[in-house]
Structure 1
Amino acid sequence: MSEGFSARFSREEMAAIRDSLRDEARFGADFMSRLKRVAKRIPFAEDLLAAWFCTRDPQTPRRVRLTLLAALGYFVLPIDAIPDIMPLIGFTDDAAVIAAAIAAVAGSITPEHREQARRALAEL
């Protein structure tokens, strides 16, 4: 296992994660800003947005919401196992984290969330 995957987060990194997720309005703005910059380059943009809309749905159970927010937080935060600036492979770790989170909560992401994601992507 590579150092990037086996090393624990530092105290500073954990504080940055907590701070980012604590302020949902800022987190949402950061998420949408980052997605707008990269949406055309990543094939999982619709999944990201569907997960986001699922977290915003008041019917979504808290555990599902937290699981998805943690995965979305990994996408937003600059802390990354594989730097996103690396051509072709930079977003593979983000895609894996999102895919794992979505697989864990698949029944909670509704067709309505996916439709919202498609409409939002069309507007980007």
Structure 2
Amino acid sequence: MELPDFMSYKDKFSKKKFVEKISRIAKRAGAKLVYAALILYYTLQSKSVSIKDKAIILGALGYLISPLDVMPDAIPIAGLTDDLAVLIYVLKKIWVDVSDEVKEKARTKLNDWFDEDEIKEIENLFEE
């Protein structure tokens, strides 16, 4: 799958829109997508992350929030595939800078939306 120019979406990001979108799509999107999004969201708030990395995180989260993307989110199953691909792509780029604290904070937040069986899917975060 060829990734879209997700950086063109960086202006679409806002904390409020992110929380609204994640809350609305959590179950349909699956724990892997939500975990990746939460890691990026919490990493964005870190003071130890470079401006360059924050810019690509904003692009990925803006893409997730935007209703206008390669595959509209309303399409069952396939609609969030491109969103997950973008999030995983960016996550791989910044993974060395993701703290254990951020990973744990994201995992703890998953407990609000998923049961333990569903959360197991994050163990293979970078596998499709």
Scaled by the length of structure 1, the TM-score of the pair is 0.77
Scaled by the length of structure 2, the TM-score of the pair is 0.75
CA shift, 1:19, in A, is: 4.6
- Equivalents in 1 of 2:103, 2:37: separation in Å? 10
CA shift, 1:123, in A, is: 2.9
2:12 to 7, 20, 44: 20
Partner residue in 2 for 1:92: 81
Higher relative contact order (CA 8 A, sep 6+): 2
Cα RMSD after superposing both structures: 2.3
CA shift, 1:47, in A, is: 1.0
Asked if residue 42 in structure 1 is aligned to residue 34 in structure 2, the reply is: no
The one-letter amino acid of 2:28's match is R
CA shift, 1:99, in A, is: 0.9
Partner residue in 1 for 2:124: none
User: Which deviations, in whole Å up to 9, do the C-alpha atoms of 1:45-88 show, x marking residues without a partner?
Assistant: 11110110000011111111111111011000111100111111
- State, as a whole percentage, how many aligned pairs show the same letter: 27
Partner residue in 2 for 1:65: 54
- CA contact 1:64–1:108 (8 Å) conserved in 2: no
- CA contact 2:39–2:103 (8 Å) conserved in 1: yes
Asked if residue 108 in structure 1 is aligned to residue 100 in structure 2, the reply is: no
Can you give the 5+ residue segments of structure 1 that lack an aligned partner in the other structure? 9-13, 22-26
1:74-89 aligned at under 5 Å gives the runs: 74-89=63-78
- Equivalents in 2 of 1:18, 1:47: separation in Å? 17
- CA contact 1:82–1:93 (8 Å) conserved in 2: yes
Segments ≥4 residues shifted beyond 4 Å: none
2:20 to 27, 33, 38: 33
**Which of the two has higher C-alpha Rg?**
1
- CA contact 2:37–2:87 (8 Å) conserved in 1: yes
SS in structure 1 of the partner of residue 79 of structure 2: coil
The one-letter amino acid of 1:102's match is L
